[in-house]
Amino acid sequence: GAGVSQSPRYKVAKRGQDVALRCDPISGHVSLFWYQQALGQGPEFLTYFQNEAQLDKSGLPSDRFFAERPEGSVSTLKIQRTQQEDSAVYLCASSFLTGGPGNTIYFGEGSWLTVV
Amino acid sequence: AQKITQTQPGMFVQEKEAVTLDCTYDTSDPSYGLFWYKQPSSGEMIFLIYQGSYDQQNATEGRYSLNFQKARKSANLVISASQLGDSAMYFCAMREGRVERSNYKLTFGKGTLLTVNP
């Protein structure tokens, strides 16, 4: 597709359940990002991939959060033993590393996670 | 200290009028980039406009322009001729460091909810 695609769009999980959120970036984009957006807040950085390498995972809030991008395209964000505070929109974004003036980052529509 | 400050939680504007959304930033890095994104209720963050710290001229993209005042560390978004479809959350964001170093983290403000009235 033309844009960043995320699935599922909506997920309701029971506390303690594991969830997996998928991101399909724009074709050819080297960089892939995950952001977490709590209600009424701006997005906050979680992790960054360049191709299949996870270069920065400093934003992951706990060791229950795990992300992978094994073939350098599709990425999965996994949250184990979900807690209520994990309820948020998880945004995936990608960009093409050109070193150009904007290096624009394009976002998907997000996966809305509610933990009950 | 907040790196990106958006002081207007909500703004109202009449259709066809211009509106300015405020953004101030804080960084000690001489190289940085400033972004504005629009987030409609669907959730997608839509890129609007970019300003680099070394750019001499204010960025413009169609009805969007960025009023960049480097000394005041402000990067206000101006939307001209507002349309009903402009109603959305607007986020200011910053990336610190040179693009060539592949600095990638965006730091976002809390956003401004713009409502365009008919």
Across B82-103, average pLDDT: 84
How many whole angstroms separate alpha carbon A36 and alpha carbon A40? Answer: 12
Please say whether the dihedral angle defined by the alpha carbons of residues B97, B95, A104 and B103, taken in this order, is positive or negative. positive
**Res A6 pLDDT > 70:** yes
Chain B interface, mutation test: which of A37, A56, A92, A95, most B Cβ atoms within 10 Å?
Answer: A37
Nearest by CB to B108, from A42, A59, A112: name it: A42
Burial status of residue B66 (CB atoms within 10 A of its CB: 0-12, 13-18, 19 or more): buried
pLDDT band at A1; cut points 50, 70, 90? low
How many whole angstroms separate alpha carbon A11 and alpha carbon A67? Answer: 17
Q: Tell whether B90 lies on the interface with A, counting CB pairs under 8 A.
A: no
Out of A6-15, B8-17, B91-100, B103-112, least confident range: B91-100
A42 chain-B contacts, CB cut-off 8 A: 4, 91, 93, 108-111
In chain A, the percentage of residues whose pLDDT exceeds 90 is: 80
Which tens digit of pLDDT belongs to each residue from A62-72? 999 999 999 99
Number of neighbouring beta carbons within 10 Å of residue A39: 7
Q: Is B104–A56 a contact, with Cβ atoms under 8 angstroms apart? A: yes
How many whole angstroms separate alpha carbon B51 and alpha carbon A51? Answer: 26
A41 chain-B contacts, CB cut-off 8 A: 110-111
pLDDT computed for residue A99 by the predictor? 44
Q: Amino acid letter at A113?
A: L
Q: Amino acid letter at A83?
A: Q
Q: Give, in order, the Cα–Cα distances in Å from B91 to each of A19, A101, B24.
A: 28, 20, 12
A100 chain-B contacts, CB cut-off 8 A: 99
A59 chain-B contacts, CB cut-off 8 A: 105
pLDDT computed for residue B96 by the predictor? 86
Across B41-63, average pLDDT: 92
Q: Tell whether B56 lies on the interface with A, counting CB pairs under 8 A.
A: no
Is residue A37 within 8 A of residue A92, CB to CB? The reply is no
Residue whose C-alpha is closest to residue B112's, from B2, B3, B9, B1 = B9
B104 chain-A contacts, CB cut-off 8 A: 31, 33, 48, 56, 95, 105
Is residue B33 within 8 A of residue A102, CB to CB? The reply is yes
Question: Residues for chain B: how many in total?
Answer: 118
Q: Is A95–B104 a contact, with Cβ atoms under 8 angstroms apart? A: yes
Q: Amino acid letter at B48?
A: L
How many whole angstroms separate alpha carbon A105 and alpha carbon B45? Answer: 10
CA neighbours closer than 13 Å in the CB half-sphere of residue B86 = 27
Across A16-29, average pLDDT: 95
Is residue B66 within 8 A of residue B76, CB to CB? The reply is yes
Q: Report A:50-79 residues touching B (Cβ under 8 A).
A: 50, 56, 59
Q: Is B43–A44 a contact, with Cβ atoms under 8 angstroms apart? A: no
